[in-house]
Structure 1
Amino acid sequence: MKNKCIWPVALLAVAGAGLWHFLEVQEGAVAVGDAWMRGWYLALLTAVLVFLAGAGLAFSGKSPASFSWIFRKKSKTEAGWRLEQIYPAAGLILGLLFLFVLPPLSAPDEISHYVSAYQLSSKILGMPSNAPNGRVLLRPQDVWVEDLDGVYEYEPDEAGNLKVVLESSEGSRKLGDPLDQSVYHLIWELAPDKQYEPGRAEALEGKMVGSMYPPVTTTPVAYGPQALGMALVRAMDWGTLPLLYLGRLCNLVFFVFMTWLAMKRLPFGKEVLFGTALLPMTLHLSSSFSYDAMIMGCMFYFTAVCLDLAYEKERAEWKGVAVLSLVMAAAGPCKMVYAVMMGLCLLIPVKKFGGWGRWFISAACVAGAWAGAMYLVNSQVIVSYATETESYVQWAGESGYSLSLLIHQPMRLIKIFYQTLLWQAQHYHLTMIGAYLGNLDPVLDVPYVLVVLFTLCLLGLALRKPGESLSITGGKRMWVFAVCAACASAVMLSMLIAWTPLSSRVINGVQGRYFLPFLPVLLLALKNDWVVLTKERNRSILYLMCCLNGYELLRLYAIVSIRL
């Protein structure tokens, strides 16, 4: 490649920024007397620089001779390692670094996802998973993660377990919220497998305790990877930190695996999927307990199979239809709004099925798999949404929108959608890229300059390059836009009904991360004949995104270190 000099220059820039932020870490370490914070930061800096050096070699086509037998080139004409060869290492390493810098329960709604995975791990082990009141049962040594200050008071329930006295839970603090220096200090003290305040667990006399956080009502498939990791830890009778980290790690491995499968299956646009997987928000979610990792991985693979059948395969065989059905059945019940993604199946020409008869059967299989899974998991939720005439928004303490109300007042629906797009579009963009990490914590931010650079990188990956042919054109391009718009509208409508009080002038609760599952196919449809880049720089752009993530990791660690 002609622009190989970008690798050492970018590496030196990140190293210089890392040394600058070391001054902030030093300040925080001196303020609290935790000298180990400097060591952690220098280890993080070293890991980031080693990763960027390796990524630079990979993207430039160079590989250490000792590993050349693993990363063989597909053809003599292909420059460097293929993207699907680079991604697993890049995704895992960056995910692990995000997992380290943003520790357990600091991601959006992660405490609820953690409790849900815990519930499934109990079922895997054949142990009681829920108390009579429906609360998830926790080991006594794990209760502290949602009660750092020990304010909970307990009373026995009818099954012999302990339940928290509701009044005593007010003011309790959970791990990772907010994410400040004390969280790093606590993890340092407990690593690798020490018990947090052992006397508190001993006082519970070995009885299981009902969590104060309700589990997410969804398919257990959403928490399979996390629960398997947690079940292993519990079977080995390890402590809470291994439980938290191995559960997260299994979720990360699953996401990287599914994205790698999607990248291999995509007939074109692999660089766009790679770029989406390198966004800070994507990395943050995939290295947490969040079921967003499963949704994104499945939707990425669903998109890849649809495009493969539409543009690469000569025939749409039953194997492909079965894969689409299985993926939609697994991911659909998590968030029913992504059922709209089934519209991508219509990109596949009817003739590839061998006629309208087989096409209808195939469509029925995919739609039926989703409908069956939805019925088994979410039938009560669907019925309540469809039949209730009044809605109450708990967090706002007032009435909300119902489907019946919106049907009878369509202009009100149009007005609130219009106002939301005008006033919230910037927020959606920022939170999709990752401007506010953690639980939408404005302190744990990705600077606006980096948000702009990540956005430009995505556009650079999506635009047509010299000599590149267009695949998604004409009516099919319009159809992809329509599917993505419908999916975004479904997301907004669901939050309008579930989370928005009547007094609000905009839809509440929508975050940009909800748009990540269909972002790759939306970007692929942007490729056109009107704007064509003069040079192909996909690998340089992807490397730049790696560097931006490396810098952001160092900056986030420094911020947490001085957040006392």
Structure 2
Amino acid sequence: MKFMKKPEKGISVWPILLLLAVLGLLAILARFSYTDYVRPASDKMLVEVNQTDHTDNADPFTKETVWRQTFISDSDILTGFDFYVTTFQRKNDSTIRVSFGESNAKTPLQTWDILSTGVPDRKFLDFYLTNPVTDASGKEYYVEITSLDGTTDNAIGIFTAGTDPYPDGALYENGRESTTDLCFRIYGQPAKMVLKIFYLFLALLFVTVIVSFFLLYLRPLKLEYLFLVMAVLLGGLYLILFPPLSAPDDYRHFETSYYYSSRMLGQQGVDDDGNVLVREEDYRAFYELRTANEQNLIATWDSLFSMDDSQGYVSADHPPLEAPGYCYWLSGAGIALARLLGLGKVLMYFFGKALVFLGYLAAGFFTIRLMPFAKNLAFLVYLLPISIQQATSFSYDTTVNALAFLLTAYCLHLTFAVDKLTPRHWAGLIILSAVLAPCKVIYVLISLCCLLIPRRKAQKNWHYYTGVAGTLMASVISLLIFQASKISSVASDSHEVALGGTNYTLDYFLHAPLKLVGMYVRTFQEYGDFYFTSMLGGKLGRLDIDIPWMLILIFAVLLLLAVIPQQKEALFLSVPAKAWIALICAGVIAASMLGLMFDWTPMTSMVIEGVQGRYFLPILPLLLLLTRNQTLVLRKDITRGAMFTFTVAHALTALWAFGIIVAR
């Protein structure tokens, strides 16, 4: 089997100059990223204890009140601390005394007397040690706050949490242990590790661009094999860039994967209340590593090779998600293997993600190979920024996207590339449809692509009708087996939603169908641009990393170019086929919005809330194929230029995101 195409006899000097220009541009941008973001971030102190839960209001901290918050240091070096205060939007002139020390020592290490006149309102009040503490790991320390002369009308407020979120310490009020914790942070040494992470990130960034150029211009690789190489390189970039649980709802998907790993190991997966059981050290990570910021980025790589030292299992406070188990088998197997080896939480995350990503690579390889035309489109859609982010997470979006793309490619393959259909072809279609349907209800409509297959492809008419009926029945039956109760409850039950108030119900719109139309129209007016950009990767992380619109425009243009046929191509979708695809896409979009209206949108809202552009990603190839026609054609193959431009745009996206993350 030949992996590489026959290389050209000679190569123009212009591509080489282009590569040098691109590398120069990336070097300049990397320099600015270093000076503007990375270097300042490396000088900031690491937060070793980050207890930032707090109530909405605080009481005045009055005379002779003494609070002592204890904590266990995980770091060898301590440099300072802070706690969250309010002035009640007034000018106070009372004095508080703040002390810091080791719990078993008779005298504090340092004491500050602070006049509240200069205290900021609703901000953290910082304290830095004149002489940083060394050899602190594993020891218990305290922060003590005393009001010397505060009164109800002349005192600051100090925030606490409503519960007891910090398990390794306690808050004492006038010597009595409280049921809550101080809202406080403890600082360690400067974040110099961010420099090492940045250098590793840059090295892989430049390797990705150079390898892409080499495999496109010097030793051209067949597209499906080029996909494998580029997916691994881009996936590596995103694994470096994003902390383990920073994708949307990733910690819930991780918990579910963990549940299946316990099942694979023959262990109890849930407690008596049905909540997932996890190792003690893994549970701590649910309060960490959820946000893509400098602190969590360093925490990930600082403990990369640590081993697990949990003393037992604790409840993760959530039950496993109600989704088909096979969506989590690969990630669960990776977690199970890491647990068998006694690996720490970070390597366990990477083991789980690695197996999911391998499955994604396999699906992408066969999708590109099966596509009868527009193979470039499949390549690009699989490797969009949002696609790579989800594929390197625990989200079952990875499985959904891969199965949807593969099913679409298989239907097109049977429609255009197969002369006569056999039972094997129908069996493959039935299996893919049955596996995809329960993953997310709305994508059952993609199975309707089987109706694009011409009847003449079957040896007998009854073969065709049996195959189509089997495909559609398999989708519906599989859907009902896994999701029947959920469909019924979402559409009919009235319940409280996260945004406040009760949800819309199906009965409501059956009596007022025009209001449903109005909801759709207003929603697209309000959120249409958000759906477009977030579908391509304009909102990464937990929708909190904004990518410049110019980069998103480049990705959009490349996707459109990937659909345009070359002059000699003869495979096109007919007008009825396009109309059918348009109906399928419209159905998926409408159903996804309807589901969020029933499950997420309060009746006080005039637009549908909760919909994200990534929900439309599985039908993106179908949407783009609607633009393919015989009028607009390419006079020459632009694959190399388009793919290299795509790689460069990806590199710029990752570099931009890195700056945002380390600046937090």
TM-score range, shorter chain: 0.7 to 0.9
The equivalences for 1:1-16 within 5 A come to 4-5=15-16, 6-16=18-28
Deviation, 1:483, is 1.3
TM-superposition CA deviations, 1:75-129 (whole Å, max 9, x none) = xxxxx32211200110121012101111211001101110111111111111111
Counterpart of 1:92 in structure 2 is 232
Q: Which residue of the other structure, out of 218, 221, 225, is the alignment partner of 2:326?
A: 221
Counterpart of 2:43 in structure 1 is 30
Give me the TM-score of the superposition, normalised by structure 2.
0.74
CA distance in 2, matches of 1:126, 1:376: 25
SS of residue matched to 1:398? coil
Quick check: which has more Rg, 1 or 2? 2
Counterpart of 1:154 in structure 2 is none
Are the counterparts in 1 of residues 444 and 476 from structure 2 also a CA contact under 8 Å?
A: no
SS of residue matched to 1:400? coil
CA distance in 2, matches of 1:121, 1:545: 37
SS of residue matched to 1:484? helix
Matched, 1:175 2:300: no
> In percent, how many aligned pairs have the same letter?
26
Which has the larger displacement, 330-339 or 526-535? 526-535
CA distance in 2, matches of 1:86, 1:508: 39
SS of residue matched to 1:391? coil
CA distance in 1, matches of 2:643, 2:510: 45
Are the counterparts in 1 of residues 23 and 206 from structure 2 also a CA contact under 8 Å?
A: yes
Task: Give 1:273's aligned amino acid.
Answer: A
Counterpart of 2:638 in structure 1 is 537
TM-superposition CA deviations, 1:18-66 (whole Å, max 9, x none) = 2221222112112332223212211211111112111101111x23xxx
SS of residue matched to 1:29? helix
User: Which runs of 5 or more residues in structure 2 are unaligned?
Assistant: 1-10, 46-189
Q: Which has the higher strand share?
A: 2
CA distance in 1, matches of 2:315, 2:257: 14
Matched, 1:51 2:208: yes
TM-superposition CA deviations, 1:370-389 (whole Å, max 9, x none) = 22322321121123245x3x
CA distance in 2, matches of 1:399, 1:310: 46
CA distance in 2, matches of 1:16, 1:321: 54
Are the counterparts in 2 of residues 393 and 500 from structure 1 also a CA contact under 8 Å?
A: no
Alignment CA distance shift 1:465-1:13 (3 Å) = farther
Deviation, 1:470, is 4.3
The equivalences for 1:185-264 within 5 A come to 185-194=298-307, 201-202=310-311, 206=312, 208-264=313-369
Task: Give 2:284's aligned amino acid.
Answer: W
SS of residue matched to 1:392? coil
Task: Give 1:343's aligned amino acid.
Answer: L
Counterpart of 1:401 in structure 2 is 504
Matched, 1:272 2:377: yes
Alignment CA distance shift 1:393-1:456 (3 Å) = farther
Counterpart of 2:153 in structure 1 is none
Which has the larger displacement, 330-339 or 549-558? 549-558
Q: Which has the higher helix share?
A: 1
CA distance in 2, matches of 1:446, 1:283: 15
TM-superposition CA deviations, 1:211-241 (whole Å, max 9, x none) = 1233220100111111110111112222211
SS of residue matched to 1:395? coil
CA distance in 1, matches of 2:405, 2:41: 41
Give me the TM-score of the superposition, normalised by structure 1.
0.86
Counterpart of 1:331 in structure 2 is 436
Alignment CA distance shift 1:15-1:278 (3 Å) = farther
TM-superposition CA deviations, 1:480-508 (whole Å, max 9, x none) = 12211211111111111111111111111
Deviation, 1:437, is 0.9
Matched, 1:287 2:392: yes
Alignment CA distance shift 1:31-1:238 (3 Å) = closer
Counterpart of 1:156 in structure 2 is none
Are the counterparts in 2 of residues 429 and 512 from structure 1 also a CA contact under 8 Å?
A: yes
Counterpart of 2:419 in structure 1 is 314
Matched, 1:109 2:222: no
| Aligned residue pairs, count | 507
Matched, 1:81 2:221: yes
Task: Give 1:131's aligned amino acid.
Answer: D
The equivalences for 1:466-545 within 5 A come to 466-545=567-646
Counterpart of 1:392 in structure 2 is 495
SS of residue matched to 2:44? helix
Are the counterparts in 1 of residues 292 and 661 from structure 2 also a CA contact under 8 Å?
A: yes
TM-superposition CA deviations, 1:335-392 (whole Å, max 9, x none) = 0100110111111011212233112211222122222322321121123245x3x522
Q: Which has the higher contact order (CA 8 A, sep 6+)?
A: 1
* Superposed CA RMSD: 1.8
